[in-house]
Chain A
Amino acid sequence: MSPKFRRALSALGILLLLAVVQVTIIPLIGIRDVLPSVLLIGVVFVSLREGQLTAMLTAFPAGLLADSYLSGVVGISSLGLTITAFATGFFHDEEKASVLIRSPRVIAIMFLGASVYHLIYLFAYFRSMDLDILALIGMHVLGAAAYTTLLSTIPILLLARRAHRLKV
C-alpha cells in the first residue's frame, strides 16, 4: 500500500468520522438554526493537503453519509462537498501543503469553500420553493460560511502554534 493511498484512506476515515460528528454533535452548537460544518472544514483541509482528486473521492461518501441521515434530499451534501473539494483543491501545492495549512491564507480559502458549499447546498435544496433567496443567502450562506470559517480558526491556530514551537 503506497503512502499516498494510505493517507487517502485515513482522510476518508477522518471525514466519515466528521460526518458522524456533524449530524450528532454540531446541532447542539447551532446559533438560530445556523450550523457550522466541521465536515466542510475537514474537506478543505484534505483538499489543501492531498489535492483535488483525493479530496473529492473522500468528500463524496462522507457527504452521502451526512445526507442520508440529515437532509430530506440525498445527494445535496455530497454534491456541495465534491465541488468545494474541487474548488479549494486549486490551492493545493504538493510541496508547500504542510506550510499552507498552517498559514492564515487557509481562513480565506475556508471562507471561499464554505460559501461555495452552502450556496450549492441552498440552491439545490430550495430550487423548487418560492422563497426569499437573498435573505436565505444572507443567513444560510454568508452566516453559515462565517461561522464555519470562525470555527476553522481553532485547528489553524493550533497547527500554527505547533509549527512555531517546532521552529523554536
Chain B
Amino acid sequence: MQTLFAFIRAFREYLTLTVLAGISLLLIANSDSTSVQVLRSFSLVSLASLQSSSNWFASLFSSRQDAEALRDVNVTLMEEVMQLRRLRQENLELRRKIGFRDRSQYPLVPAEIVGKSLGIGQNLITLDVGSQDSVTVNMPVINEDGLVGKIIATTGTYSIAMLGVHRDFRATAKVKRARVDGIIAWEEGETLMLHNVSKTADVMPGDTIVTSEYSNIFPPEIMIGVIQSIGPGEGGQFSRIVVIPRVKYASLERVFVVRFRTDAERAAIEDQVFPETEDPR
C-alpha cells in the first residue's frame, strides 16, 4: 500500500495530467450530451450580461465608423446609379437610331446638333456635318420619328438646317390612308398645317401625314405627323387641317441627313412651268 502511495506521490503530476486529459477527451466525445449542455447553458446565462456590456462598449467605437463608411459607400453607389441611368438612356437612344439607320432605304449621314437658334417660327439648327461629308443644300434632315427639316446652308464641316416648325418651311405631303395630297407648313407653336386639301377630301383626325412622292426634295413616305383636328378653311374651298408633328423639335439631339439629291433636270422644268407651287428651296 505504501508502495502505491509512493508511486502516486512520485508520479502525481503525470497521473493528474492523465486524469484531466481523460476527462477533457470524455467531454469532447460527449459534447452534445445533456449534462454538457446544462453546463453550457449555465455558463451562457452567467456570462451573457458581461458579454453584452463589452459589446456595447465596442459598439461605441465601431458604429460611428461603420456609419461613416456606409455613407461614403452610399454616395459612391448613388453616383454610379446616376451614371448608369444616363448611359442606359443613351444606349437605348443609340440602339433605336442604329435600328432606324439599318432600316432606311436612303444613305444617311449621322449628325450631332451643335447649335440651336429657336424663336417663334425661326427654328434653325446647326449640325456638325458639312460639305466634306457630302451634305448639300436641300438635303432632308430626319430622325427615327420622322421629318425634321432640310439643309439650307453648308460649310466644310458644318451645316444649318431649317426645322419643320420654321415659318418658311414647306413640303408636299399626303394623307397616308386616303392618298390625299397637300402642302405641310408651320402653323403656330409646335403644330403644322396641311394646306390645299379640299373640304370634300376623305380625311379625318388621327390620319397619318407623310411626305409625298411628288416632292423634289424629300423622299416619299417619311413620317410627318398625325391630324389633330379638321375645320373649315378661310376660303370655304379647303379644310383647315391641324397636324401634330411626330418629331419632338424641342428635345432634338441627333439627326440624320438624307443623301437624297434633287433631280436638277426635273427641278429646272418645274421652276420654269410652275415656279410658285413647289417646295421652296
Contacts and interface: CB of A to CB of B under 8 A. Distances in A.
B61 to A, nearest CB: 9
B60 to A, nearest CB: 11
Contact of B13 (A23, A53, A74, A75): A53
Contact of B39 (A23, A25, A68): A68
A65 B46 CA distance: 10
A151 B20 CA distance: 27
Interface stretch (A36-44, A81-89, A138-146, A152-160): A81-89
A27 B47 CA distance: 14
B100 to A, nearest CB: 57
Q: Is the interface of A mostly helix, strand, loop or mixed?
A: helix
B88 interface: no
A3 interface: no
B43 interface: yes
Nearest to A52: B13
A21 to B, nearest CB: 9
Contacts, number: 81
Given A24-B47, A24-B54, A69-B43, A74 B17 contact: no
Given A69-B43, A83-B21, A75 B27 contact: yes
Contact of A73 (B21, B28, B43, B54): B28
A104 B214 CA distance: 106
B144 to A, nearest CB: 57
Question: For chain B, which range describes its interface: under 10, 10 to 19, 20 to 34, or 35 or more residues?
Answer: 20 to 34
Contacts of A23: 47, 51
B39 A82 contact: no
A68 B16 contact: no
B67 interface: no
B27 A74 contact: yes
A28 B62 CA distance: 11
A96 to B, nearest CB: 19
A75 B25 contact: yes
Interface string A58-69: 001001110111
Contacts of A53: 12-13, 16
A28 to B, nearest CB: 5
A69 B41 CA distance: 8
24 contacts: A28-B57, A52-B16, A52-B17, A53-B12, A56-B16, A56-B20, A64-B39, A65-B43, A68-B39, A68-B42, A68-B43, A69-B40, A74-B27, A74-B31, A74-B36, A75-B27, A75-B28, A78-B27, A79-B21, A79-B25, A82-B24, A83-B17, A83-B21, A89-B13
Interface of B: 12-13, 16-17, 20-21, 23-28, 31, 36, 39-40, 42-44, 47, 50-51, 53-54, 57-58
Interface of A: 20, 23-25, 27-28, 52-53, 56-57, 60, 63-65, 67-69, 72-76, 78-79, 82-83, 86, 89, 124
